[in-house]
Each structure stands twice: as C-alpha cells, then as structure tokens.
Amino acid sequence: MATHDSTAASPPPDDYPRMLCMPVEMHDAIFNELKLSDAVAGNVYGQRLRQTNRYFFGLIELIDPPDHNTLLYLEKTPWAEDNDIFTCKYCLTLRHKSAFGDGMLQGNRARGGCDSKKRFCADCGFDVSASGSRYPRSTDTMVNGERWVWCRDCRKVKKGDEAGLDICQQCCRDCYGAYGCACEKKEKCCSAEKRATTGEMNREHKL
C-alpha cells in the first residue's frame, strides 16, 4: 500500500475549493477509504481523484493493486461483511456474493475459512481458456439463481436461458434437444418422468 509524504505537495491557495482546503489528515482519511473502494472497483477512484489537480497528484501516490492476502484481510472487515463481498483468487478483486457459484462461499471456503484463499468467482471458474485449477468440464452449478453449465457435449459454457432447465445434468439446452440425454448418470438425472415433464417444457421453450 502506498504511503505519502505530505511535504511533497504545497498547500493549496486560499481561493481553492473547500475540498482542497481541508487539513492533510482529512485528505489522508479520505484516501484510505478510497483504497477500500479501489480494491473493489479495480483501482479507479483514488486514481481518478489523483488526476483532478496537481495538489492531489502530489499527495496520492500510485496505489498498487491489492495482493491476494490483502484482499483476504479486507473481506473480513465489517464493511465487507455488511456488503456481502468476497475475494476471488484469479481476478484478484473483491466481488459481491452474487458473482460466485453455489458452494463457493460455504464450508472451508466461507469468509475466514481455511480454504478461502482457494475461492474463485464464477467468471474465472468458467474461463475455459485460462489455466489453473478451475471448474472442470461438465460442471453444472447455480450462480445467483441462474444455471451455468460447461456442457460436456458442445464444450461451451452456457448460462441461464441457454443452459436451459436442469433436466439433464452436465449438458446445455441445445445439446439436450439434439442428442437427448448423453450423461453418465442417465438413470439418476433423467428419469422417464422427469424427461416427460421438464423435457416438454424445454422443447416448447426453444420454439
């Protein structure tokens, strides 16, 4: 985190806007708040303020993007708890809980959990072009109430409407429509009864 030397910037003249006439300690307090916001918004607020005039330019140093440990520390603050904010290990940002797949915020990966450092958001987890231990192909999970599936047949990630109803685990709506059930758990996930009811709904939905 950046520290700054208040002697580096000369105090603003008397006819400056009030915002600039505050004691440097108050500016300091504001910048510290902005560091929190920057951790969420990708380092923009403090840097924007820095661009507004020479005084702030001298006062605010370039803030390094927060590292993973800093984010994990921040997510345990009351501010993060109140706002349902969590850390992603890949995009290294703090994101709202709605950006994470079901299960990613529970158990050991919960806030302060021993595996919270392994947590990743749904966007990063389903990034099929990226490396690292992310969701494997055929992952079928709910993200903020919407079904996301990395289809085992077409190998694409489909979300919500394109994922279709959860008739058959691990495959998307189009592949289900084209091939029927192709999953290993045929007996378990696609009972005749379930196909008869939700299958019809899915086909109607496509038209």
Binding site for Zn ion (CB under 5 A): 88, 90-91, 121, 124, 151, 153-154, 168, 171-172, 175, 181-183, 189-190
Least distance between Zn ion and beta carbon 71 (Å): 11
Short-list 181, 185, 187, CA closest to 202: 181
Nearer to Zn ion, 46 or 87 (CB): 87
Q: Dig out the tokens for 127 from the structure.
A: 């990034």
Q: Give the count of alpha carbons within 13 A of 122, CB side only.
A: 24
In angstroms, the CA 101 to CA 113 distance is 17
Query: DSSP readout, 100-158?
Result: SBTTTTSGGGSTT-TTGGG---HHHHT-TT--SS-PPTT-EEEETTEEEEE-TTT--EE
Least distance between Zn ion and beta carbon 29 (Å): 30
Nearer to Zn ion, 45 or 100 (CB): 100
Strand pairing category for 140-143 and 157-159: unpaired
Least distance between Zn ion and beta carbon 199 (Å): 10
Q: Which residues pair with 140 in a beta bridge?
A: 149
Nearer to Zn ion, 28 or 153 (CB): 153
Nearer to Zn ion, 4 or 134 (CB): 134
Least distance between Zn ion and beta carbon 191 (Å): 9
Nearer to Zn ion, 23 or 103 (CB): 103
Least distance between Zn ion and beta carbon 24 (Å): 36
In angstroms, the CA 38 to CA 185 distance is 45
